[in-house]
Structure formats: C-alpha cells, structure tokens
Chain A
Amino acid sequence: MLRFLTTIPVRLIAWLSDAIEKGLRNSLRIFRPLDTEDISKSQDSKKRAKTIVLRLVQYSAQVITYPIAGLFYRGARKRSYFWSLPFVVLSIGTFAVWLVVGFNQERIFNRYLAKVQNAYSKQKGSLGVRYSMRWINDQDFSNLDRKFLISLVQVQAGEEKAAESMLEHLSPEDSTGLGVAHFWRASKYAAELEKNASDTENRGEQLERFRWHLERSSGVNPSQIGVLKALEFYWSGEESQALEAYRALWQQNPSESLGYASLLKRMGKEQERTEVLQTSAQLLGNLLRSDPWNRSARSQLAGVYESLGEWSKAELVFIEGLQISRDGPTAMAYQGFLQRRIQSALAEPRNPREIAYCLVRIARTQGGEKSTRNFVSESLLRPKQELEQLQNALNQWLVEGLDLPMVHLFLALCKVVSGDAKSGDWHLEQAYRYDDSIRGIVSQLADHLVAASAEQSQYHERLLAWRKSN
C-alpha cells in the first residue's frame, strides 16, 4: 500500500508528460492532411513546407517532454537516455547561468556601482576605477551621472588626465552634456583665458567656447557660475558690469572676496581691493568665531590675510585650525601655506626676517624632508652680506623666544658656512641642550649642504671639514 503511494508522484509526472506529448501530437493533426511519406515525395511545395513545420513541431514536442518521457523509454533507447543526461543537465545549466546573469545584468551592475561609490567615499580611487571598468562600456547603464562618478574616482586614483578626458567626453561641444562637466570645461577655458591674456589670435575662439560651456553649466553652487559670468563680462570689455556682478556675489557670499579682489587688482583699483579684503576678513572672522569647524571659511580667511600680506595672522588662523582638528587635510593646508610664505620671503628683495622664521617653522613641522633641505640650501648658501642679515634675523628671533633649539640650529649652520665653526659648535650644543631629538635633522641638513655647496668651493670646504669633525 505504502509502496504504491511512493510511486504516485512519478506516475503523475509520467501521465502529465504523456498527456502533453499526446496533446501536442493530436493538436498537430491540422497540419497533417496527407501522409507525410507521400508529402515528402510530393512536388507540391506548400505540402512539403507543411511537412517540415510539422516535423519541427514534433521534434520540439519531443525535446520539451524529453526529460520526463525518457524515463519510460525501453531497451537501447533507455540506455541512451541515461547516458544523455549529463549533456542535457549541463546544457540546461549552462543556458540557465547565461539567462540568470543576463536577466540580472542591471542588478549586478548596481552591485559594482555601489562598490565604486564605496571606494570613492573611502578614498580608494584605483579600486573604484577597476570596479567601474565592469560597466563603463555598457551604454544603457553608464549614464552621464555614473560617468561623472568615474571621473571622480579617476582623480582619486591619480589619473587626472583620464578624468579630464572623461569630463571632456561629458561636456561635448556640439550637444548637451552634464552641467557639472560643462562648468568644469568653462572653468578650464577661463583658466586658459587668464593664462594667455596676450594671445589675441586664439582668444576669440576660446571665449566662444567658454561661453558655450558656461551657458550649459549647472549642478554647482550658483555663485560659482556667477563668478564665471562676471569674468565673461570682464573679458568682453564690459568692466562695470563685471564689477557689479562680482560685487553682488561678494555681498551675498564673502568667500568670493579673493576673486573679487583679484579683479579689482587687475583693474588697478588697489584701495578698493584692500577695503574689500579687510571687510571680508572681518566677516569671515565673525563667521569663524560662530562656527570654528568651518574649514572653508578658515581657508578663505587665511587666504584673505595672505592677500593682504599679513602672514602672521594667516598662520594664526591655520594653527587654530590644527588645534581643532589635527587631520591630514589641515596639515596639508598648513604645509601649502608655509611653501607660499617661503616663496614670498625668497622673492626679491629678500626678507631675512621672514626667511629666518620660515626656516625654523618648516624644519619644525616637516623635519629634514626634501622641501626643507632645498629651502635651507637656498637660504644659507648665499653671499656673505645676505648671510649676515640672516644671522641677525635669527638672533632677533632668539631674543623674541621663537623655537630656541631650531633657531640655535640654523645659527650654528650660518656660523659654519660663514667660517666661524667654533661658534657654530656652541650653537649646536645649545640646540641639543634644548632638544636632543633634532640630531637626525642636523645630520640630514648638514649632508645636504655639503652636497649642494659643491660648486661653491669655499663654503664646501668649511662644511666638509665641520661635517668630518662632528
């Protein structure tokens, strides 16, 4: 009894399979007005065509019912059926894999897209680029916004040229593209127009292209587009409109002060420029006092002070920022600031007090790195008169109590270069007395000075002798 029950599912499937096969065969009677053998020999093309269709349908029916119907084959046919199962199962499996993946293509691509977004948020640009390569060529999936994401991860991966090329692709010059990309392209043309102010030959064409992209710019802060529009007025010769547009922008947003000041400078309105910068410093200072974590305002304020030539105030703003958050971007911003201050100090006429200050600060913040070493050789391997001025400035800083070990260190180096090795040793001793951890920096700077002074034989001999004795 129970055994009979266990066979019921199989029997049901067999009946069903038989029913399908019989049903299909019976339904095909409409195709069979004549005996197929006769038809195949017949010359009537219509009848022959019918026979072919009939046979095809019969074969199709057999193939469809094969997996179940085969269980009821007999003899050699049954043996063939069982041996054919690997082929049938694996063929179905193969097509199933293709179908499953084909129907879920968008879902799979979304998985990759999420990975790209994740890589971008974690600053893993090169990984993001590799994830994006899976769908970059899929025209349906890879829309403008997603391509823009690719350009962002390319920037992160250090592939700036690829990113530029992608943004160019997104901002075509003959059709609609992505607003952000058009804005980027307009900014690029703006930079070229600024750079090649004297190139009148290509200026007209560049200006046209700039306008084309500017008209299609979107997806960014309207004030950013406003800046470019103001510049467009300026380059078109409509100075009053440019000033008006910029002033309106500046009044809405004091962070536009630097651009506005730059425009005023170009127009020769120096006094107005200073007023704008001072007002902006006041406004940004207020903003920063109410929101000390506002990085953008901090950077803007430091920039305003830099433009006014008030380096100490600018540095104070950066140092306050470092006290609030000691992270990579803040440290990088401060390093950038120091580099600009150094460049300003080294510009003719040189400012020994500023040079002395920058030497101390860069050695303290960046140790004996390449940028420090280059700056030290550029500052110390100078004519005697400049060296003396630098020593005086360092002595002054010593009196004012700036970072004593570092000031002693640079005084020591100045003394050695100027031929007073004994005083140099004394200053070095003082430096070590205050801070013994600077020995590594001393060694790096001394070695660099020896190498850099190779063409200045007098300095080279002094430095070499001192290096050997220490």
Chain B
Amino acid sequence: MVKTLTLGLLAISVAVLSPSVWRVLSEIVLGGFWFEFGLLILGFASILLAAIASRRSGATSSTSAVTPNALAMGLLLAFLGVVWGWYASDPVWVFRGWAVCLSGLICLSARLSSLTFFHLACLAFFLPLSLWRLAPEIHSYGQMIATSFAGAMLDLAKIFYFARGNVIGLVSTDFLENGQCSGLRLLGPALLVTLGYSFLCGYRSMRTIYLALVCVFWVLVLNGVRIAYFAWRQDNQPSPLSFNAPLADTLCLLGILFLSWSANQFFEALRTKEVESDPDQANSSGTATKDFSQAIYFVYGFLIGIVFIGSAILYRDSTHPYVRLSSRAMASALEGIKIPEEIEGWKLTEVSNSKESIKPVFKHGETWFQREWHLAKQSDDSSSMQLRLEGPWSYPPQIDWHWRWFGWHLNTPIVDELGQFSWAMNRSIVEEAFVVSSNLGIASSDPSGSPVLQLSLIQQGYQPYSQKQQKSQKELFGKFRKAIEEQIRAKVSDGLDR
C-alpha cells in the first residue's frame, strides 16, 4: 500500500513537472545547444547503464530496495530544486527536480538499491551543467585559479605579464588573452565522464567525490597550462610544438581524463591491504531494510510539495508564456541592429576590437553577439563613454559579471523603477567607472519572458563620477535602450517560434 502510494505520488510529480522539462528540451534544441544535448544523452545513457549494471549485479531482491531514508534525502534535493526553479523562474532547476523524481520512480519500480538511487539522482541533478545560472560564478572562480596558475608558470618562464581580474595580459605586446581566459573549458564533459565512470564502476560516494575533486583540479591546472601556452606563443617565444585551439581542447580533455584515471589508480594503490574483492564496489545488500518509519512521511511531504509547486509553475506558465526563439531568428534579429550615429551631441563610432570583451565559454547558445561603440562629445574631447550590447542569455547572469571578470571592484548595483541597474566601480587604485546596464527582452518587454541582451553604458576615467554625471548618463542610457529595444522587436516579430 505504502509503496503503491509512493509510486503514484512520484508518477504525479513526474507528470506535473514534465512541461518544464519540455521547455528546457525545446530551448536546448532551438538555441542550438547541441553540445548540451549531447551531454544530456550521455547523462541519460550513464543513468541507464548504472541502472542496468546495478540490476545485473543482483541487487534487486526485496531486501535491497531503496529505503525511505534514501528516498527522503533524494526527494528533499528534488524539492529544493523545484522550489528554487519556481522562485527564480528557472526551468533548468525544475528539470533537475523532475530527473530526481524519475530516478526514484525507476528505482522503486525496478527494486534497485539506495546506492543506485543515489547514483541516478546525482547524475540527473548534474545533467545540464552548462545551463546553470551559477555558471558565471563557477567559471569566474575557476578561471581565477587557472589564471593564477598560468601566471605562476609565466613567472617561472620569466615572461612579463599583468592581470586584469581573470584575464592575463602581456606586457610586451599589451595584449589581453581574452580568448583563452573566457571561462573554464571542458569542465562539463570532463566531470560528467568522470562521474559516469565512477558510477559505472560502482564506487562508493567518498571515492566518487574524490574523483570529481581530482577531475576539477586537473581541469583548473590544464586550463592554466593552456593559457600559459598561448601567452607564451603570443610573446613570440620559440615553441617546439604548435597547437591550434581545437587540438589544444582535445589534448586537454584527454589529459584531464588520463590524470583523473591515474588519480583513481593512486587511490587503488593506497589501500593498505591487497584484497581480492573490491570494498569500493557498490553492494548495498543487507543495508536496506523495510524501514517504513517516519521517513516515509517526509517522502510524502516532499512529493506533495513538489506536486503543489509544479502545479503553481504550470499555472504561471499558462498565464505568462515564455517566448522561445530559434537561433536563426535570434541571429537575424541581432545582426540588423543599427545605432544612431549621433545622440544629443554624442557621436558614436563602432569599436571593432574592444580590449575588454570576451566570448564566454558558458554562453547560452551557439549565437553570440557582442558590439561596442565609442561615444565622444563633439564639444568636449575629455568626455567619452562606451556602449556595449551583448548576449543573448536564456537566463541572464548577474548583471555585473563582466566587470567582475575583468577585476573591477564594484559597489552594490542599484536598480531604479525602470529596471535599470547602475553602479560605481574602481580598479588599480586610480581607475574609476560608472555603469548603467539593463537586460533587454529580445521578444517581449518582460526580460523574464524571453531571451535577453545586456545593454550597458560605461563611463570610465580617473575620478569618481558626480551625481549629476550619473544622472545624465542614466538618461542617455534610457534613450539608447528605447531605440534598440524597438529595433529588436521589429526584427524579431516575424521570426518568433512561440
């Protein structure tokens, strides 16, 4: 009776959350996230293989079924994911919650063990890693470590460099390695392959965590090596080997996987006794009991909560539909944007090679659009600004991520009634800047209802900007925002794929 009820609730949860899953999947396909799609398939394949391996190992008797405690822990994770997805309007988190519920359903109906459920839930929860809203934060910290390691190697090689936040610049050429320092490459695939390998081998959680940590460590180190190598080449130093970016990517991935596997061998060799049977192999028979204790009430509680919030999400999505765009429609809308040549005495000139601009590794789709204009006041040579437009983001990251990436120290952004963020920032003792920025919904005026572009107006100099200057900058920004928004809407209206 208890099992049937649990299965029923799990099935309802999976069904209620399915529209969000469909939304994520369609976004992946329409946005051209083919790499993420591959990851998804790889992840599901790992889940299936783990489940099959677990069944074939014989852990399917009634005594080895998933316990209410394990189920409660997993469903707590799912519940938190769904709550966060509902709060942040991020279907990717709902997707994760759904995947954990699905894992529970599979494990309970196929009588798989708690450990298998744990493996499946973990894989499901980590599936679309690169779509995380937290990606800029993760990549930012990771890039900081990789860049510092690259800097250490350049120091040993006596190549003079300077750092602009996460980006390395060469003293000799005044060149910023924006291309190489645009995020941690190969973090997603390497981590997924490593976790998949660990689960397939049936390792215990400690060993899996160890392998994941080692994998992340080598991702950081090899990204640092890669940056140092390209900086070395840029500095016109002699190099016996020559790699282009794709070859470097391939070698790095192979290197990360090999070194993670080598670390696994280290773990293997470190065990004090030479044993015939592997204690790390998953075998939880005997540990599972039919303990339908109080934990089952938690399971019910979480499941009812998931169903309730899933219904709320369903209701919200039916009243505020999210507009999706195909990557082609997005690209055509963005290519045709024209900025007026002059606004209120400010003359605009497009900058072809902006010094501080990156194409982030964690971008949301194959299309990446970045344009920058230099604004100069005709009557006053000393005044200048930059107008930046970049995106698209399916779910906008923190509005100030770009400047933190380049080492600016920011005051807390203030948001006004028009949804415009503004903040002052400084760097290297003397550099001062003031930024007004906003997310523009590409297909609708509501930035939470469609992919967005980030528009920013930056004033940079060596003195803090007065209230008056800040106010006039905000007003000017409002005009640009209006002009660009109207253009994008007009272009997009035909290419919508609702």
> Footprint of B on A, CB under 8 Å?
58-59, 62-63, 66, 70, 73-78, 80-81, 83-88, 90-91, 94, 97-98, 100-101, 104, 108, 111-112, 115, 126-127, 130-131, 133-134, 136-137, 147, 161-162, 164-166, 169
**Segment touching A, from B246-254, B264-272, B305-313:** B264-272
List 17 additional contacts besides A86-B258, A133-B162; criterion CB under 8 Å: A66-B269, A70-B269, A76-B268, A77-B269, A83-B261, A83-B265, A90-B221, A90-B259, A97-B149, A112-B160, A115-B160, A131-B171, A137-B428, A165-B429, A165-B462, A166-B429, A169-B430
Closest to A99 in B: B152
Cα-based distance from A289 to B252 in the complex (angstroms): 73
How far does the alpha carbon of A86 sit from the alpha carbon of B158 in the complex, in Å? 26
Q: Are B152 and A164 in contact (CB under 8 A)?
A: no
Q: Are B462 and A77 in contact (CB under 8 A)?
A: no
Q: Could you tell me if B265 and A97 are in contact, using CB atoms closer than 8 angstroms?
A: no
A97–B462 Cα distance when bound, in Å, is 36
Q: Is B153 an interface position by the 8 A CB rule?
A: yes
**Residues of chain A within 8 A of B259, CB atoms compared:** 86-87, 90
Residues in A neighbouring B217, C-beta threshold 8 A: 91
The docked-state distance in angstroms from the alpha carbon of A83 to that of B162 is 38
13 A-B residue contacts at CB 8 Å?
Answer: A66-B266, A66-B270, A70-B269, A77-B268, A77-B274, A84-B265, A112-B160, A115-B171, A130-B162, A134-B171, A137-B429, A162-B462, A169-B429
The residues of B that contact A115 with a CB separation of less than 8 Å are: 160, 171
**Do A136 and B428 touch across chains, with their CB atoms under 8 A apart?**
yes
Shortest B145–chain A CB gap in Å is 10
Out of A86, A126, A169, which one reaches B262, CB within 8 Å? A86
| Chain A residues whose C-beta falls within 8 Å of the C-beta of B428 in the assembled complex | 133, 136-137
By beta carbon, the residue of chain B nearest A105 is B155
Please give the distance in Å from B269's CB to the nearest CB on chain A. Answer: 4
Contact status A147-B262, CB under 8 Å: no
Residues of B within 8 A of A63 (CB): 270
- Measured in the bound complex, the distance between the Cα atoms of B430 and A133 in whole Å is 11
Minimum C-beta distance from A326 to chain B (A): 33
Q: Is B463 an interface residue (CB 8 A)?
A: yes
- Taking CB atoms and an 8 Å cut-off, the chain B residues in 418-467 that contact chain A are 428-432, 461-463
The answer to whether the Cβ of B163 comes within 8 Å of any Cβ in the partner chain is yes
Q: Which residue of B lies closest to A75 (CB)?
A: B274
- Chain A residue numbers with a CB within 8 Å of B270 are 59, 62-63, 66
The residues in B between 150 and 169 inclusive whose CB is less than 8 angstroms from any CB of A are: 151-153, 155-156, 158, 160-164, 169
Closest to A169 in B: B429
Count of B interface residues, CB-CB < 8 Å: 39
Q: Are A101 and B269 in contact (CB-based, < 8 A)?
A: no
Q: How far is the CB of A153 from chain B (nearest CB, A)?
A: 12
Query: Does B174 interact with chain A (Cβ within 8 Å)?
Result: yes
List the A side residues contacting B463 at CB < 8 Å: 161, 165
List B contacts of A62 (CB < 8 A). Answer: 270, 272
Query: Nearest chain-B residue to A86 (Cβ)?
Result: B262
Q: B288 an interface residue at 8 Å Cβ cutoff?
A: no
Minimum C-beta distance from A180 to chain B (A) = 17
**How far is the CB of A296 from the nearest CB of chain B, in Å?**
31
Q: Tell me the smallest distance from the CB of B264 to a CB of chain A, in Å.
A: 8
Flag whether B329 is at the interface (Cβ < 8 A): no
Chain B: CB-nearest residue to A136? B428
Set of chain B residues within 8 Å of A100, measured between Cβ atoms:
152, 156
Closest 10 CB pairs of A and B: A87-B262, A84-B266, A80-B269, A133-B162, A165-B462, A101-B152, A165-B430, A83-B265, A84-B265, A80-B268
Q: Is there an interface contact between B152 and A130, defined as CB atoms closer than 8 Å?
A: no
CA–CA, A66 to B160, complex, Å? 37
**B161 to chain A: which residues have CB within 8 Å?**
134
The residues of B that contact A136 with a CB separation of less than 8 Å are 428-429
The closest CB in chain B to the CB of A131 belongs to B171
Q: Report the Cα distance A459→B169, complex, angstroms.
A: 57
Say whether, besides A81-B269, A136-B428, A101 and B462 are in contact (CB < 8 Å): no
Q: Which residue of B lies closest to A82 (CB)?
A: B265
Give the distance in Å from the alpha carbon of A81 to the alpha carbon of B270 in the complex.
8
Contact of B272 among A58, A70, A75, A134 (CB under 8 A): A58
A400–B429 CA distance with the chains assembled, in angstroms: 60
Cα–Cα, bound, A348→B253 (Å): 79
Q: Does B80 contact A (CB under 8 A)?
A: no
B263 at the interface (CB under 8 A from A): yes
The verdict on A134 contacting B162 (CB below 8 Å), with A97-B156, A101-B152 known, is: yes
Q: How far is the CB of B190 from chain A (nearest CB, A)?
A: 15
Give the CA-CA distance A62 to B269 in the complex, in Å: 10
B residues 268-322 with Cβ under 8 Å of A? 268-272, 274
CB distance from A89 to the nearest CB of B (A): 10
Assembled-state Cα–Cα distance A100/B217 (Å): 19
Separation of A164 and B429 alpha carbons in the complex (Å)? 12
- From B163, B258, B429, A147 is in contact (CB under 8 Å) with B429
B169 contact set on A, CB distance < 8 A: 130, 133
**Nearest-Cβ distance from residue A151 to partner chain B, whole angstroms:** 9
Q: Separation in Å of the A201 CB from the closest CB of chain B?
A: 18
B171 near A127 with CB under 8 A, answer yes
CB of B10, distance to nearest CB on chain A (Å): 36
Q: How far is the CA of A137 from the CA of B428 in the complex (A)?
A: 6
Q: Report the minimal beta-carbon distance from B266 to chain A, rounded to whole angstroms.
A: 4
* A83 with B429: CB separation less than 8 A: no
Q: In the complex the two chains form, is A73's CB within 8 Å of B162's CB?
A: no
Quick one: which of B155, B266, B268, B432 contacts A101, CB cutoff 8 A?
A: B155
Contacts of A133 in B (CB 8 A): 162-164, 169, 428
Task: For the complex, give the distance between the alpha carbons of A78 and B259 in Å.
Answer: 18
CB–CB A108/B155 < 8 A: yes
Chain A CB within 10 A, most for which of B149, B152, B156: B152
B263-A84 in contact (CB<8A): yes
CA distance A137 to B271 in the complex (A): 46
Q: How far is the CA of A86 from the CA of B217 in the complex (A)?
A: 14
Residues of B close to A81: CB separation below 8 A: 265, 269
Q: Shortest Cβ distance from B86 into chain A, in angstroms?
A: 41
Residue of B nearest to A100 (CB): B156
Alpha-carbon distance between A104 and B156 when the two chains are bound, in angstroms: 10
Which listed residue (B149, B431, B462) contacts A164, Cβ 8 A?
A: B462
A74 and B274 contact, Cβ closer than 8 Å, known pairs A84-B265, A84-B266, A130-B169: yes
Residue of B nearest to A119 (CB): B171
- Would you call B155 and A80 a contact (CB within 8 A)? no
A94 touches B149 (CB 8 A): yes
- Give every chain A residue within 8 A of B265 (Cβ-Cβ): 80-81, 83-84, 87
Which residue of A has the minimal Cβ distance to B170?
Answer: A130
Q: A134 near B163 (CB under 8 angstroms)?
A: yes
Closest to B270 in A: A62
B contact residues around A126 at 8 Å (CB):
174
Q: How far is the CB of A59 from chain B (nearest CB, A)?
A: 8
Q: Nearest-CB distance from B80 to chain A (Å)?
A: 30
Q: For residue B269, which residues in chain A have a CB less than 8 angstroms away from its CB? A: 66, 70, 73, 77-78, 80-81, 84
Q: How far is the CB of B82 from chain A (nearest CB, A)?
A: 37
- Residue among B268, B430, B431 with the highest chain A CB neighbour number at 10 A: B430
Given A130-B162, A134-B160, A166-B430: A161 touches B462 (CB 8 Å cut-off) = yes
Could you tell me the distance in whole angstroms from the C-beta of A352 to the nearest C-beta in chain B? 35
In whole angstroms, how far apart are the Cα atoms of A87 and B269 in the complex?
Answer: 12
Contact partner of B156 among A66, A84, A88, A101, CB < 8 A? A101
In the complex, the answer to whether B274 meets A84 with C-beta atoms within 8 Å is: no
Bound complex: CA A242 to CA B298 (Å): 87
| Smallest beta-carbon distance B170→chain A, Å | 8
B254 to chain A, nearest CB (A): 12
Nearest to B274 among chain A residues (CB) is A77
Q: Which residues of B contact A94 (CB under 8 A)?
A: 149, 221
* A152 smallest CB distance to B (angstroms): 13
Minimum C-beta distance from B261 to chain A (A): 8
